[in-house]
Amino acid sequence: MTRREFLKNTLRLTGALAMAGSAIEILKPDSVFSARPSDVRWVFLVDTYKCVGCGMCVRACKLENEVPYDANVTRTWVERYVLTKDGRLLADSPKGARDGFISPRIDLGMGEYREIRPEEIEKAFFVPKLCNQCENPPCVQVCPVGATYQASDGVVLVDRKWCIGCGYCIMACPYGVRFFHPVYKVAEKCNFCYHRINKGLKPACVLACPFDARRIGNIKDPDDPVTKVITKERVSVLKDEYGTKPQVYYIGLSKEVR
């Protein structure tokens, strides 16, 4: 083989392999199916300045979605963060704030409480949490049976008839939003009140919030007031470093919030 032939053949082979590679790329199902985009993508906006920790959202969520009221599981919850002037961080969420925060004492768990004097407090605030309906949901990737999935509008749902209750998704969620439903014995999570948003209603937590701290919107609609806030104002998301692309946006998030 001459040097010229060798170079020619190498070039041909590289070209042929690249072509074959691109053919595989084109036939990949997710790129084929993503060519059919939906015109709705549900997102959520939480304003932590407005939240007062009344827990009305948690109560409404449990009643709307028939999550057993007295079981210590909930689709949404509110966390309280108290930072003292000497640098201590205290956080609690008794019963997921189902009954709100009606005492200045911090619940440390196991029946222990900590009194904090008002003059000790540097900053204190409430953070509502719910499913982030991630664009790259790790809970969906780990499901071995296809029981949890993302609908075309971005909401991650659980098929109660198909779930085998293995609990992988509960482990996989970096935000800890999934739990076992004590009645159905399957994985359970917030779905932005899928039955309500598809009827043009607000989710139960959004309706119940008196302070407008919780809002829902469609990020694909440029005229949606929530979209305008997310695209034009300063918002942040939880655990950005995990690459899950969470779609619950927060105003006033502090670095202490996990």
Partner 1 sequence: MHVLRPLFVFLAFVGIVLMARFLYVPADFGIHERGYMYGWHRKSNEEEWKQVRVKYQGMEYCSGCHPDKNKALRESPHRIIQCENCHGPAIEHPSEPLKLSIDRSRELCLRCHTYLPYPTSNRSNIKGIDPERHNPGIECFMCHNPHKPGPGR
Nearer to partner 1, 72 or 136 (CB): 136
Distance CA 25, CA 21 (A): 6
Report the C-alpha gap between 109 and 180 in whole angstroms.
Answer: 21
Minimum distance from CB of 235 to partner 1 (Å)? 17
Q: Give the contacts of 25 (CB within 8 A, at least 6 positions apart).
A: 31
Write down the least CB distance from residue 7 to partner 1, Å. Answer: 40
Tell me, rounded to whole angstroms, the distance of Cα 46 from its chain centroid.
12
- Beta carbon nearer to partner 1, 8 or 28: 28
Token duo for residue 43: 């997102």
For partner 1, the closer of residues 8 and 66 by Cβ is 66
Q: Which is nearer to partner 1, 11 or 213 (CB)?
A: 213
Q: How far apart (Å, rounded) are the C-alpha atoms in residues 161 and 184? A: 9
> Cα dihedral sign for 138, 238, 44, 121?
positive
Sorted by sequence, the CB contacts under 8 Å of residue 55 that are 6+ apart come out as 78, 96, 97, 98, 99, 100, 101
Q: Between 88 and 123, name the residue whose CB sits nearer to partner 1.
A: 123
**To the nearest whole angstrom, how small is the minimum distance from the Cβ of residue 137 to partner 1?**
6
Strand-pairing partners, residue 107, are 113
- For residues 164-200, one letter each, b for 16 or more C-beta atoms within 10 angstroms of the residue's C-beta and e for the rest, the string is eeeebbbebbbbebbbbbeeeebbbbbbbbbebbeee
Residues that bind partner 1 (CB under 8 A): 29-31, 33-34, 36, 38, 48-56, 59-60, 63-65, 82, 99-104, 118, 121, 123-126, 136-137, 140-141, 146-152, 157, 159-162, 191, 194-196, 198-199, 201-202, 204, 207-208, 210-213
CA atoms within 13 Å, Cβ hemisphere of 17 = 6
Nearer to partner 1 among residue 16 and residue 122 (C-beta): 122
**Pair 81, 257: CB distance under 8 Å:** yes
Is 183 in contact with 203 (CB distance < 8 Å)? no
User: CB of residue 217 vs partner 1: minimum separation in angstroms?
Assistant: 18
| CB nearer to partner 1: pick between 106 and 226 | 106
Smallest distance, partner 1 to C-beta of residue 127, A: 10
Shortest distance, position 190 Cβ to partner 1, whole Å: 12
CB of 3 to partner 1, least distance (A): 45
